[in-house]
Amino acid sequence: MVSFAFNGGGLWSTLLIALKRRRFNVDRPMAALTVAIYAFCGAVVLASIVNNSIARDATHLVPLITFLFFPFSYSVWSISQKTTLARVIILSSMAACFGALLLTAIQYYWLGMPRVEGGAGNPIVFATVTCLSVLVCMAGALSGIEKARSLLACAALAGTIAILYSGSRIIWLAMLIAGIAVLLINRQKLRGKYVLRLLLILGLAGLAIAAFGFQTILERAEFLRSDWEALTAHGNYGTALGFRVAMWQIGLDAFREMPLFGHGVGATPLLIKQGFLDQFGMDKGFGHFHNGFLTALVEAGIVGAVALAAILIVAAKNAATVLRISADPVERFGATMIVIVVITYLSGGMVGILIGHDILDSVLMAFLVSGTYLASGRTLPITEERTLPVTPAGP
């Protein structure tokens, strides 16, 4: 649904601008981010051209359209009143957290799934989106934009429980790091009664984690320990950790072969499958190298990896500028959204997917569009105001 909504909306926004029913909204933060996003898309296409693999890579290049919609979606979204959009984002995130908990209960206790994956079909993707929702609820409660702080706190707790049941250890870490960042951004408000309320919420969260997630945390920690022991002591690459280490080795070897422009976006499954056969004697296949920047290095070389890094760097710089100079709660909330998504994607992308998944790509663009607009964008009128000619006064 999120892919359909963002890409469908992006296509509609593009048509509205092409038909001149909406204006193209260009401001400095949006322009800088657009240049970085389009540079990354260009680097991916260039890699296919250099490798003469456009035909092979064609289906893999189609998802880049999600990124190309960024400036058009930004322009149409910027007719929204900022406070209204911020409240919609906060309340939607609250609904997402409660929905995640409901799906967790159904999948874990009714369907017996060992790791819940919501509607994403992937525990890491489910955990990533839920993590963003939890952090938005935190930021919304601390910003003062939405008054239902207690309900937002309950939603954040519900989402946290869902993330625990996903078993996604890296997202647990990402949520911790980004959560600390949210608290630091809003540290000026954590005084008096807010400190007591925060301590109460943290205490309840600790009890909930102990009640619902302690066993899951122990199991996932034990899996990591046993995988590490199997890899270091016995050279066993047939575990979750072993597969990742093997893919990183295969990816680094592939990068050294084509360091500047890479092998093309469609080469990854072939390189991984052949690498497992040649180097480890295993018949395994994956669609990415379980490291976002390594995947970019293999597919689009140094040029592509630098362009990908530029997207996150430019976004973070835009947010930092706003947080440094602005006291407006809506602008700071928008900047916090950018900080949240950058930390979460960077953390999760180090051992998993950074981009290249339809849900993650759409959610990243939605956060960058709305966060940039709320933080530093200008609001456009829905329609152009036409100045009527002045009729001279009669004698």
Q: What is the rounded distance in angstroms from the CA atom of residue 333 to the CA atom of residue 343?
A: 15
Cα angle 77, 83, 84 (rounded to 5 degrees) comes to 65
Distances (CA, A) of 310 to 36, 150, 181: 6, 38, 21
pLDDT of residue 276: 87
Distances (CA, A) of 256 to 28, 305, 376: 37, 14, 40
pLDDT of residue 104: 93
DSSP secondary structure letters along 305-343: HHHHHHHHHHHHHHHHHHHHH---HHHHHHHHHHHHHHH
pLDDT of residue 168: 86
Residue type present at position 180: I
Note whether 35 and 102 are within 8 A (CB): no
Which residues touch 190 (CB under 8 Å, ≥6 apart)? 142, 183, 198
Which residues touch 262 (CB under 8 Å, ≥6 apart)? 47, 51, 255, 296, 297, 298, 299, 300, 301, 303, 304
Sign of CA dihedral 269, 271, 277, 279: negative
Q: What is the rounded distance in angstroms from the CA atom of residue 363 to the CA atom of residue 73?
A: 13
DSSP secondary structure letters along 149-200: HHHHHHHHHHHHHHHHHHT-HHHHHHHHHHHHHHHHHTGGG--THHHHHHHH
Q: What string of pLDDT tens digits covers the 395 residues of the chain? A: 888 999 999 999 999 999 988 889 888 999 999 999 999 999 999 999 999 988 888 888 999 999 999 999 999 999 999 999 999 999 999 999 999 999 999 999 899 888 898 888 889 999 999 999 999 999 998 888 888 888 998 899 999 999 999 888 899 899 999 999 999 998 887 666 666 666 666 676 667 666 666 677 777 777 778 877 887 777 778 777 888 888 999 999 999 999 999 999 988 889 998 888 888 888 887 888 889 999 999 999 999 999 999 999 999 999 999 999 999 999 999 999 999 999 999 999 888 888 989 999 999 999 999 999 999 988 888 754 444 444 444 44
- What are the structure tokens assigned to 17, written together? 């601008």
Count of residues making up the chain:
395
Q: What is the rounded distance in angstroms from the CA atom of residue 262 to the CA atom of residue 200?
A: 51
Phi-psi region of 197 (alpha: psi -120 to 50; beta: other; left: phi over 0): alpha
pLDDT of residue 307: 95
Which residues touch 2 (CB under 8 Å, ≥6 apart)? 129, 359, 362, 363, 366
Helices (H) and strands (E) in the chain, counts: 16, 0
Q: What is the rounded distance in angstroms from the CA atom of residue 214 to the CA atom of residue 224?
A: 15
Determine whether 270 is exposed, middle or buried from the number of CB atoms within 10 Å of its CB (0-12, 13-18, 19+): middle
pLDDT of residue 201: 67
Q: Can you give the residue ranges of every domain in the chain?
A: 25-231+286-376
Q: Considering the entire predicted model, what is its pTM?
A: 0.89
- What are the structure tokens assigned to 192, written together? 């008096």
Pick the closest to residue 142 from 325, 336, 2 (CA basis).
336
pLDDT of residue 360: 95
